[in-house]
Amino acid sequence: MASPQLDLISTKIIKPSSPTPLIHRIQKLSIFDQLNPCSNYMSFGMFFPKQYNPTLPVDRTHISTILENSLSRALTSYYPLAGTIRDDGLHVECNDVGAKFLQAKIDCPMSEINHRSSEAEDLVFPKDLPWTPSKENLVVAQLNHFNCGGIAISVCVSHKIVDGSSMANFINHWSTMARNPSAPIPSFQFVGGSIFLLENEIFLNGFLFNCSFLKYYVKYVKEM
């Protein structure tokens, strides 16, 4: 049986619906985030079987438009996710570069890959992640259309800027914007860099042992 194939339909850059204020232009990362490599991405996939409901949109363009517009509004609240990591690896520049949004079609029904034993499940995630350069988009999403009418949405976010909890909050906020385009855009404060600080000085203690003492100690242990 031939392996399912993925055809990329489109690639877009989704920017925040409103520009990030200059006062929030630079965000310092917490000590925990500073230690994460820039190329480490967290991935999350969601599968939605075809719903036989005439009131639901089935047109690919309609679905994509809803997701793109709601992602744009969600990035206004989560503005660091639309930025880039500075070369020092310590700060996020909230420059509204945006998130990458891919749309693809997979030539098989969802049931063929939506199970744990299927290696083809990787098809629904953006190819070539994680990346090495830190200048890439911090968020990459992919909308996949199966030939059965179902869809899968995958989201990859740089682990340098989110953990599991914050990624779940972002996806939940995005879904809220998709369900209700008129929902108010909330404002968040990103203060991790001011709470989890890196001390300016780190002290290390060292211990020196005489070589003859170590030989005696090793011999003593062996004879016990």
Average pLDDT of the residues in 28-49: 77
Confidence of residue 207 (pLDDT cuts 50, 70, 90): low
8 A C-beta contact, residue 135 and residue 87: no
Q: Does the pLDDT at position 187 exceed 80?
A: no
Confidence of residue 36 (pLDDT cuts 50, 70, 90): low
Helices and strands counted in the chain (H then E): 5, 8
Q: Token match 């194939």: residue? A: 5
Three-state secondary-structure class, residue 84: strand
Domain segments of the chain: what residues? 6-198
Average pLDDT for the chain? 80
pLDDT at 175: 93
Residues across the chain: 224
Q: Which superfamily does 6-198 belong to? A: Chloramphenicol acetyltransferase-like domain (3.30.559.10)
Which residues lie below 8 Å from residue 7, measured CB to CB, with a gap of 6+? 104, 105, 106, 107
Average pLDDT of the residues in 104-130: 76
8 A C-beta contact, residue 82 and residue 98: yes
Q: Does the pLDDT at position 221 exceed 60?
A: yes
**217 or 90: whose pLDDT is higher?**
90
Confidence of residue 116 (pLDDT cuts 50, 70, 90): low
Strand pairing category for 139-146 and 99-106: parallel
Q: Does the pLDDT at position 149 exceed 90?
A: no
pTM passes above 0.85: no
Confidence of residue 202 (pLDDT cuts 50, 70, 90): very low
